[in-house]
Amino acid sequence: MRNLVRTPAFVLSVVLAAGAAATPAAAARSPLPWDHAGYDAENSYYNPHETVITAATVGRLARKWSVKLRTAEDCSGFGAPVVSGGRVFVGDQAGISAYSAATGARAWSFDWDDFGTGWPPRLTVVGRLLIAGYGDCYSVSDPNTHMVALDAATGARRWAGVPPIGDLVVDKGVILASGTDITGETAAAAYRVRDGRELWRVKNRRVAAVSAGGTVVAVATDDEGVRTGESVALDIASGAVRWTTKTYLSADAASPADDAFYGADADGGLAAVGVADGTVRWRAPAPADPNERIATDGARVYRSCLKTVTALDARTGKRLWSRKLANDTGQPRVAGGLVFAGNFALDARRGTVVGRVPAVAGDIVVAGGVLYQAKEGVLSAYAPRPAAAPRP
């Protein structure tokens, strides 16, 4: 997952540990999950299980169903979907709603109510809980932040809390929240997933929303919230320091094998850093625009900047291919041997365009042979039409 967009501190992101892969029998009943905002705790935006939507079928995508999301007269917006247990969960202007992945029928809705109107939450399903972290949208300088756990089956609230302003990363049954408040105080605090109980807390650490097997990277700050240039790797369960380096790293993604972090370095370029010891493996030049986003499938790191997608060798940083497209590429997603960028599907190995998808200005998830899209207040599902029978 790479997202070099410098999002405001009150926007919360949630990344949770990937659950066990579904068995073939379970997969036949419901779509395989994309139950994290970036697919997994590594925020890789890579689904290795997709086998239906491929280069051979992406050109036959047709809409299965479409529903309008709930609206409200306030400052909130619409969020990106996640898929788990045969349902699609998405943030709407009134709160959060769950829909049948098969038909689009709404199963339940949760209203913000006493939580206050919020920016669209980043959602993740872990076990039987749907975790949402968000900040209200009434004050840019001093927002209120919230974290809520809902029953994924019913939408009932299980627990709620107020973490430090900033990012959330969840792995190994622990939620790690961190940020800088209006006074400049920076902190990281860990909470237990099942009940929200605080486990540990440390000052002057700002944690990125990425976990590699339970290792997270935090930027060290001074008492005014200004980063010192040092990066620290922490154990998410205990808060213990695993290593410290003078190299600044914004860990925007980790490899699926949990052996490397990828993110911006002090010069704004892209760096690969070893998870075990913090050693810099390679660096790539800074992008043309700081709003670059990345994804990785372990073999390649995909950089998306403006209208261009570039693939780098994940081991060496060497450029493998680059493709300029007709519109902004947005956050790349990787599934079925394809890279989805803007409204194009590219061959992941070669970068050639193999099809178009209905993804311009929308958030998509590719899971279980279906492409789900949330765009401008509408949630839709697309699947390949059957291939035409050959003529006799």
Residue 392 lies in a domain: no
Least confident of 80-89, 113-122, 189-198, 301-310: 113-122
For residue 178, the model assigns a pLDDT of 85
Whether residue 28 is predicted with pLDDT greater than 60 in this model: the reply is no
Look up residue 310 and give its two tokens.
Answer: 């570039």
Predicted TM-score (pTM) of this structure: 0.89
Full domain range(s) for residue 113: 2-383
Does the pLDDT at position 17 exceed 50?
Answer: no
List all residues 6 or more positions away from 392 whose beta carbon is below 8 Å from its beta carbon.
none
Give the range among 161-175, 195-209, 372-386 with minimum mean pLDDT.
161-175
pLDDT of residue 209: 87
Examine residue 388 and state whether it is found in any structural domain, yes or no.
Answer: no
Please tell me the predicted confidence (pLDDT) of residue 361.
63
Full DSSP string of 268-294: S-EEEEETTT--EEEEEPPPSSS--EE
Specify if 122 maps to a domain: yes
**H or E segment to which residue 334 belongs:** strand 333-335
Q: What percent of the chain has pLDDT over 90?
A: 59
Categorise residue 75: left if φ over 0, alpha if ψ from -120 to 50, beta otherwise: alpha
Could you tell me which of 327, 326, 352 has the C-alpha nearest to residue 339? 352
Cβ–Cβ < 8 Å for 228, 220: yes
**Calpha distance 206→250 (Å, rounded):** 10
Q: Please indicate, yes or no, if residue 389 is contained in any of the structural domains.
A: no
Provide the token pair at 214: 């339970």
What whole-number distance in Å separates Cα of residue 214 and Cα of residue 390? 51
pLDDT tens, position by position, 39-69: 999 999 999 999 999 999 999 999 999 999 9
Q: What does the pLDDT read at residue 220?
A: 86
Identify the top-confidence range among 13-17, 152-156, 168-172, 175-179. 152-156
Please indicate, yes or no, if residue 147 is contained in any of the structural domains: yes
Tell whether 390 is covered by a domain.
no
Please determine, for residue 304, whether its predicted confidence score (pLDDT) is greater than 70. Answer: yes
Q: Which pLDDT value is given to residue 360?
A: 61
Please state the domain count of the chain: 1
Helix, strand, coil percent content, the chain, rounded in steps of 5: 5, 45, 50
Q: Tell me how far apart the alpha carbons of residues 176 and 195 are, in angstroms, rounded to a whole number.
A: 14
Helix (H) or strand (E) holding 161: strand 157-161
CB-based contacts of 294: which residues, under 8 Å, 6+ apart? 1, 2, 3, 4, 45, 252, 253, 262, 270, 301, 302, 303, 304, 332
A 10 A CB-CB count for 389 gives 6
278 contacts 261 by C-beta, under 8 angstroms: no
Q: At 290, which CATH number? A: 2.130.10.10
Write down the pLDDT at residue 180: 77
The position carrying tokens 């519109």 is: 327
CA-wise closest residue to 91 among 79, 101, 82: 79
> Tell me, what's the pLDDT at 30?
54
Compute, in degrees rounded to 10, the torsion defined by CA atoms 270, 237, 297, 323. Answer: -30
The tokens 């399903």 sit on which residue? 125
Residue 21 inside a domain? The answer is yes
How far apart CA 141 and CA 129 sit, in angstroms, is 31
Sorting pLDDT into bands at 50, 70 and 90, what band is 225? confident
Give me the long-range contacts of 73-78 (CB less than 8 A, separation at least 24).
Answer: 74/117, 74/137, 75/117, 75/137, 75/138, 76/112, 76/117, 76/118, 76/119, 76/120, 76/137, 77/119, 77/120, 78/120, 78/374, 78/376, 78/377
Identify the sign of the CA torsion 262, 211, 123, 22. positive
Mean pLDDT for the stretch of residues 113-135: 79
In a domain, 22, yes or no: yes
